[in-house]
Amino acid sequence: MLHAPLKHNTDVHYHSTDTTVLNTEDKELHHDKQRELQDIVKSELRNATFEASWVPDTFCPADPDIVTGVLTVLRERNVFTTAVDGKQVVLINWPAPGAGERQFYAPFVGKLNAIIDAFEVLYPNQYARSFFFGTRFYVYDRSMLGSVDGEAALKPDLLASKTTLDGGLRIYWYHAMLAGEVKLSWPELVAQAATYARCMFAATEHRAFIPILCLNHAEGSFRLCLYHRGGLLASMAMDLETIDGFHMFVSTIVGLWQWDSLKKAGCEPSMSHSHISFNDSQYRITAVLCRCQAIRARATSVFVVQKDETPADEGIKTRSQVRDNMTRVLLLNDKKLEPWSRLSPFDNLMPLPPSATKQIAPIQLPNTFIVKCSHQPDGRHKEEDVFRSVQGFIGIPEILGGYEAEQFNIPMEHTTVEWDIISPDKDGLDSDDSDGYSSSDADENSVAADEVEDSKNLIMPIESKADDGSDNDDDRRGNGSCVDHNEDSDGTEDGNNDGNECGGSVEDDSETGEANQEVKPHRRHTIEIRRHRHLIIKTVGRRLELVDGPGTLARAIQHAIIGHCALFTVGGYLHRDVSNGNIVVLPKPTDGCKIPPINQCIAVLIDGDVAKEWGSREQASHRSGTLPFISAQVADRWLVGMPPFHTPIDDLESFVWVLLYELLRWTAKRTKRERLWWKQMNADTLDIAAPSKHITLSMWADPELYKHIKLSSILRPFRELLHKLFASAASFEKEMRTTSETDLINLFDRAYIQFVQILESHIPLLPAEFTFRKDSKDQEVPKGSKKGKKGI
């Protein structure tokens, strides 16, 4: 799929993220891309930012006696003193009010390191057990080695690292233990810090939340910001010039350094960058198939894992060994280092087995299988339950199990307050942005997807995709809103949406399914908590674009339709997200429930994340699909802000769009009409996608017009097949409008049968291989054919 820089749905595994030191002539380009990235994270976080006074004591509780001891040492070392009244704090070597942003970097880092040093001196044993053992803060203020898509050279003001960052050394986001940001306004500070959290999430899939240290130098106040898959939870502002505020600041940092386990730091202890452990057995990650970047998202990542026979005690390294190895790697020439988006066992990183194992129900695990990690909104069906309802059918993947991993939790007794910091009236405040970057207001028509991925980039397993998490207001869903190709915007009843990932989809939330076109008053939103789930999948395959010929492509789509039919008619679930990324071709045919005349399965339909029980009340969302492949009627209803009535007919039409899309992908030299289709199918806006779908569908469904479409050599053998499939989709959609509810199931049955039969009759007529040959006018023609009449 074609994507502009900094797309929401970027599969970072396939995008190089190397950046270089900024040249003077490049700065304006980087400014633009930085503003675009900030707009993305602002859209992700809108209506999803909260604050609470209990955040430090809940997530990084510090022993009061330790804090008192650290404060005593800080006073003795002239880090601070108190005013005569005893209520105000005087920070030694602190810039005067009105000083520029950069003048606060070194003093802020100095205060942080002073707190850490005092803690280490007073409590060396606790310090040695700390998750942050050996970590210090440094003024960074230079571009990272890896950034989002490699398009915006992000420059965090300060970083905490186990490696000395003096002398201009640049590191990857994977190696950043903590990041900090200094700015003079909270809206800009939250947005800039969010770009760092987005990168750190993408670099470390097993993180449940990312803490960022934020200093508002205009106010002289500090916040601990915890970015998680539901948005942002921040502490209340701590005034560093008051006794209470400075005391809480010191307590927060000490509390962070008292994290003595991966779990406290928000990490899944049974997973590392190189391994996952189940039932006391280690499985090495041998391939990263899908890795997403987003904050508020389903954040799907997909890995191929293989049993590692290396004894566990031989693989575990001491903290000092890990630190020494990291230093060695970082000091290599930049060109020898892989960007963080490709961190895997194939990189220079030392394999690091997990510190714990996940005990799951007794199942027979093969030596090689797939693990899919995602953060699901509450109310979703478990994906293993969806597919287990039809295990063994043609077109259905084999699921081994699923479980909940480490996730972001808020104790039931605590409540949060909505912090309306990312909103139209808050965006665009003046910022000194002295690092050269500034942000602009988020586009009001932009539909953000916190996590979305490019489905074409998956080297498919059985599961690799959808994510949800964007946050849009319901009253902006019309007007040709910008929607990512692979976005699973999962709206909530407060008007929030969720975006999607590896193969993405777009969903929208509504309790009633009623369209509401009126302007809504401001409503209170509730913090969104997502369930971090791991799915274990036996079926492994390759992505649809890697098929070995036209016949295999059509057969793969036919088998996916059969799986879709089984899921609906037997399991009772409507898939709702048919896309090219959600059809996986198997390495060799396998036996399955036989449907005459089909004996073996060559492809499966994956990703049941957004599947819905037919006839059930809407759960976390009701709007679902992937923009290039949604049906014309679904696109229409999105465009005018109406909740779509998603049916099996819409999904069947989506299969036809997948076929057309993949044929266009294979076409090296497209005709003028094909270039237009390709551009329209890759459009990011509904006001282009919706009308273009109707025009294309009508053209293919017309009994005479389709014959005169000028086609390239790749599409020409599919002319009759595309016509019959599009015509059937249009006919069933029209018939459905006048069909009573009691007769709908019969109509759906007939549609499934007709689509399968159309494909069965045409597959034998398709060529064995895709053919490419150009004539003297550089026009593609199939081998052995003559030029035909001019077409439209």
User: What does the pLDDT look like over 426-439, one tens digit per residue?
Assistant: 444 333 333 322 22
Q: E-assigned strands of 291-347?
A: 301-307
For β-strands 368-377 and 399-404, DSSP reports them as: unpaired
| CB-based contact 640:474 (threshold 8 Å) | no
195-210, pLDDT tens digit by residue? 999 888 887 778 899 9
Segment (H or E) for 11: none
User: Could you tell me how many residues make up the chain?
Assistant: 792
Is residue 29 one of the residues assigned to a domain?
A: no
Which residues contact residue 26 at a Cβ distance below 8 angstroms, ignoring those fewer than 6 apart? Answer: none
| CB-based contact 230:298 (threshold 8 Å) | no
Q: Which of 403-407, 475-479, 735-739 has the lowest mean pLDDT?
A: 475-479
Tokens 């750190």 -> residue: 200
Write down the pLDDT at residue 575.
93
597: preceding bond cis by omega (within 30 degrees)? yes
The phi, psi pair for 773, rounded to 5°, reads -155, 135
Amino acid (one-letter) located at 337: L
Q: Which of 210-219, 251-260, 770-779 has the lowest mean pLDDT?
A: 770-779
Question: Taking 70 as the threshold, does the pLDDT of residue 760 lie above it?
Answer: yes
What count of other Cβ atoms lies within 10 Å of the Cβ of residue 538? Answer: 18
**What's the whole-number mean pLDDT along residues 627-641?**
89
Out of 40-44, 215-219, 381-385, the most confident range is: 215-219
Query: What are the CA-CA distances from residue 527 to residues 49, 212, 441 (Å)?
Result: 8, 19, 23
Amino acid (one-letter) located at 330: L
Domain count of the fold of the chain: 1
Closest CA to 306 of 343, 268, 338, 346: 346
- Helical axes 686-701 vs 648-666, angle rounded to 10°: 90
- Helical axes 632-639 vs 686-701, angle rounded to 10°: 150
Is residue 695 one of the residues assigned to a domain?
A: no
Residue 532, classed as helix, strand or coil, is strand
Question: Taking 50 as the threshold, does the pLDDT of residue 19 lie above it?
Answer: no
Question: Taking 50 as the threshold, does the pLDDT of residue 441 lie above it?
Answer: no
* Residue 732: band (very low, low, confident or very high) from pLDDT cuts 50, 70, 90: very high
Q: By residue range, what is the domain housing residue 128? A: 41-267
Query: What are the CA-CA distances from residue 325 to residues 9, 133, 137, 162, 315 (Å)?
Result: 33, 15, 20, 11, 14
Is residue 19 one of the residues assigned to a domain?
A: no
The phi, psi pair for 212, rounded to 5°, reads -125, 135
**What's the whole-number mean pLDDT along residues 535-556?**
91
Q: E-assigned strands of 221-271?
A: 221-228, 231-235, 238-239
Write down the pLDDT at residue 202.
80
Token representation of residue 478: 């019309």
Is residue 112 one of the residues assigned to a domain?
A: yes
* Residue 347: band (very low, low, confident or very high) from pLDDT cuts 50, 70, 90: low
| CB-based contact 461:300 (threshold 8 Å) | no
How many Å apart are CA 792 and CA 790, to the nearest integer? Answer: 7
Is residue 472 one of the residues assigned to a domain?
A: no
Residue 338, classed as helix, strand or coil, is coil
Return the half-sphere exposure (C-beta side, CA atoms, 13 A cut-off) of residue 711.
Answer: 21
* Residue 733: band (very low, low, confident or very high) from pLDDT cuts 50, 70, 90: very high
| CB-based contact 109:156 (threshold 8 Å) | no
| CB-based contact 679:599 (threshold 8 Å) | no
CA angle 202, 203, 205 (to 5 degrees): 70
How many Å apart are CA 49 and CA 27, to the nearest integer? Answer: 30
CA pseudo-torsion sign 375, 380, 381, 386:
negative
Segment (H or E) for 178: strand 178-183
Is residue 487 one of the residues assigned to a domain?
A: no
Segment (H or E) for 569: helix 550-569
Partners of residue 612 on adjacent β-strands: 574
Burial 346-380 (b: 16+ CB within 10 A, else e): ebebbbbbbeebbebeeeebeeebbbbbbbbbeeb
How many Å apart are CA 450 and CA 488, to the nearest integer? Answer: 9
How many Å apart are CA 552 and CA 531, to the nearest integer? Answer: 37
Q: Which of 52-56, 136-140, 383-387 has the lowest mean pLDDT?
A: 383-387
**What's the whole-number mean pLDDT along residues 589-597?**
78
Write down the pLDDT at residue 437.
28
* Residue 734: band (very low, low, confident or very high) from pLDDT cuts 50, 70, 90: very high
The phi, psi pair for 152, rounded to 5°, reads -125, 115
The phi, psi pair for 756, rounded to 5°, reads -65, -40
Mean pLDDT value across the chain: 78
The phi, psi pair for 594, rounded to 5°, reads -85, 135
Higher pLDDT, 200 or 597: 200
Q: Which of 123-132, 303-312, 678-687 has the lowest mean pLDDT?
A: 303-312
The phi, psi pair for 712, rounded to 5°, reads -80, 175
How many Å apart are CA 197 and CA 194, to the nearest integer? Answer: 5
384-418, pLDDT tens digit by residue? 999 999 999 999 999 999 998 988 988 888 999 99
Write down the pLDDT at residue 147.
57
Closest CA to 193 of 162, 151, 237, 234: 234
What count of other Cβ atoms lies within 10 Å of the Cβ of residue 682? Answer: 18
For β-strands 221-228 and 231-235, DSSP reports them as: antiparallel
What count of other Cβ atoms lies within 10 Å of the Cβ of residue 645? Answer: 12
Is residue 229 one of the residues assigned to a domain?
A: yes
SS (H, E, C) 45-104: HCCCEEEECCHHHHHCCCCHHHHHHHHHHHHHCCCEEECCCCCEEEECCCCCCCCCHHHH
| CB-based contact 286:345 (threshold 8 Å) | yes
Write down the pLDDT at residue 249.
98
How many Å apart are CA 455 and CA 748, to the nearest integer? Answer: 28
Write down the pLDDT at residue 300.
82
How many Å apart are CA 592 and CA 583, to the nearest integer? Answer: 16
Is residue 205 one of the residues assigned to a domain?
A: yes
Write down the pLDDT at residue 457.
29
Q: Which of 16-20, 193-197, 349-353 has the lowest mean pLDDT?
A: 16-20
**What's the whole-number mean pLDDT along residues 492-508?**
35
How many Å apart are CA 281 and CA 300, to the nearest integer? Answer: 24
What count of other Cβ atoms lies within 10 Å of the Cβ of residue 474? Answer: 22
Write the DSSP symbol of residue 457: G
